[in-house]
Amino acid sequence: MDHALIEASLGELTAANSRELERKCEQIALSYIAQLVEPQFDVDSADFARDPRLICADRYWNLRFQAAPTLATAVDCAGWMAEHVVAAVQDPIREKWAMGYAFITRNSVESAAEIADATADVVAADDSACNKAYFAALYHAGKLRANFFYDELEIFLAASPLALAAGPHRESVLFTALRAFAAFGSRTTVHQHGCALLDQMWNSAERTFAATDVVLNGLAAGKDFDGRAQLLRDRSAEAVAAYPGRDILHFRLATGRWMCGEYDAAMADIDEALRLLPAIGWRVSHELLQGQYLARRDAIEAARAADRQARIDRDRVQSTEREVDRLAGEVRGTVLRAVELVTVFAAVIAFAVGSLNVSLNGNITLADRIWIVVTQGVGLLLFAFLILGGSWFIADRLARRSERRDRPED
């Protein structure tokens, strides 16, 4: 295989359009696979969109992992990176490959025995064993994360010989993010521990896009706790601002807003995620992500429709209650007027009858008769005012109670 010719061909693709670039790179990657040879060119950038060498290497290792989704392949990939990827761009490429290849091969989680065998091979290797163990550990942890095996992931990161063999890499932001992911979903770990790990990773000067996405994924999919939805919404909004143009972060933000009941904003974000999702390329993850986004969009639309109907029903109930209160007020007013009329009429009749009896009684002096009539009139007047006052008081209490019920709460 003429490696020099292939490298020259890749160099000529720098000006090609995206479809031609990917088609040519895939052909070259397939030729490497067919001849059981690893690429011999070097990669000096992390531009997955325009760098022909990186795109070709990405396609080659994508095919390798799909054909053999094992830790042995991860170890080989880590060894190739150590030899052919310049140190300045190894971290972003390592994180993207480890999490991406783990996602598309998540249906092939290896057993403890297989992990032990791979660990033995790594430890017995050269002085790059630490880097190889780190990449292999990220790959296996990525599979556990993609399958939401929270407890298994927590145990693997804390005590697995493969994870321990990663040495100082265990303090990386991506390792911390994976620990936070496991803590958010673990049945034995309190959510405060996950929040502490989230803050540790979030405030790190070395925070990366991959670590940010992992921790937001854990927050979205893990156990519920007070403030979880608001935390996911706020952190996702910060992530969108920090890493613009990333479809997955808009998906996380849409999820947070959906959980907070902000359905219109959530719909705008999920539509943006679908718009940003690349429509070209060979990655299996494209269809998987598109399916997730569309399912979330359906859930947001259903929640928004239910919320809209609930508001309509609530407005209808409130309108009915206001009409009932209005009619009740009219009835109260009518009854009050009737009570007033009956009270006044009764008082007048009683006064007239009493006055007539006193006036016709010849045994009482005129002065006494006037005094009795006045006294009787004042008594009946006080009685009428007492009845009317009580009726007005009751009506006023009922009206105030109705106003308090209709007044919106702060």
Tell me the pLDDT tens digit for each residue of 76-93. Answer: 999 999 999 999 999 999
With vertex at residue 187, the alpha carbon angle to CA 183 and CA 189, rounded to the nearest 5 degrees, is 45
Q: What is the mean pLDDT of the segment spanning 382-406?
A: 68
Contact 254, 270 (CB under 8 A): yes
What pLDDT score does 410 carry? 45
Percent pLDDT > 70 in the chain is 80
> pLDDT by residue (tens digit) across 43-61?
999 998 889 999 999 999 9
What pLDDT score does 242 carry? 97
Q: How far are the Cα atoms of 110, 142, 343 from residue 129, in angstroms, in the given order?
A: 20, 20, 103
Q: 385 is written with which tokens?
A: 């005012």
What pLDDT score does 362 carry? 54
Q: What is the mean pLDDT of the segment spanning 265-279?
A: 92
Q: Given a cut of 60, is residue 360 above it in pLDDT?
A: no
The band of 375, judged by pLDDT with boundaries at 50, 70 and 90, is: confident
Q: Given a cut of 80, is residue 176 above it in pLDDT?
A: yes
In whole angstroms, give the CA distance from residue 135 to residue 94: 7
What pLDDT score does 323 carry? 75
The band of 327, judged by pLDDT with boundaries at 50, 70 and 90, is: confident
The band of 121, judged by pLDDT with boundaries at 50, 70 and 90, is: confident
Q: 110 is written with which tokens?
A: 């290896």
- Hey, how many other C-beta atoms are within 10 angstroms of the C-beta on 264? 10
In whole angstroms, give the CA distance from residue 247 to residue 268: 12
Only one residue has tokens 């919106």, namely 408
The larger pLDDT score, comparing residue 116 to residue 158, is at: 158
Q: Given a cut of 50, is residue 274 above it in pLDDT?
A: yes
Report which residue type is found at 183: A
Instruction: Using alpha carbons, select from 299, 289, 294 the residue that is nearest to residue 258.
Output: 299
Percent pLDDT > 90 in the chain is 58
- Least confident stretch, 104-108, 134-138, 370-374: 370-374
Q: In 46-146, which ranges are continuous DSSP H helix?
A: 52-67, 71-84, 90-104, 112-123, 129-146
What pLDDT score does 106 carry? 92
- Least confident stretch, 86-100, 184-198, 275-289, 345-359: 345-359
The larger pLDDT score, comparing residue 360 to residue 374, is at: 374
The larger pLDDT score, comparing residue 388 to residue 49, is at: 49
Q: How far are the Cα atoms of 152, 171, 193 from residue 186, in angstroms, in the given order?
A: 9, 21, 11
What pLDDT score does 355 carry? 62
CA atoms within 13 A on the CB side of 43: 27
Q: What is the DSSP string of 179-216?
A: HHHHHHH-SSS-HHHHHHHHHHHHT-TT--HHHHHHHH
In whole angstroms, give the CA distance from residue 331 to residue 337: 10
Q: Given a cut of 60, is residue 408 above it in pLDDT?
A: no
Instruction: Using alpha carbons, select from 27, 117, 29 the residue that is nearest to residue 74.
Output: 117
What pLDDT score does 178 carry? 98
> pLDDT by residue (tens digit) across 6-31?
888 888 888 778 788 888 999 999 99
The band of 123, judged by pLDDT with boundaries at 50, 70 and 90, is: confident
Instruction: Using alpha carbons, select from 259, 289, 284 the residue that is nearest to residue 273.
Output: 289
- Least confident stretch, 77-86, 283-292, 395-404: 395-404
Contact 100, 146 (CB under 8 A): no
The band of 194, judged by pLDDT with boundaries at 50, 70 and 90, is: very high
The band of 356, judged by pLDDT with boundaries at 50, 70 and 90, is: low
- Hey, how many other C-beta atoms are within 10 angstroms of the C-beta on 410? 3
Domain boundaries, the chain: 1-67, 331-406
CA atoms within 13 A on the CB side of 172: 25
The distance between the two most distant Cα atoms of the chain, rounded to a whole number of Å, is: 146
pLDDT mean across residues, the chain: 86
Contacts 24+ apart (CB under 8 A), 340-346: 340/388, 340/391, 343/384, 343/387, 343/388, 344/384
- Least confident stretch, 5-19, 147-161, 238-252, 355-369: 355-369
The larger pLDDT score, comparing residue 137 to residue 382, is at: 137
Residue 85 β-bridge partners? 43
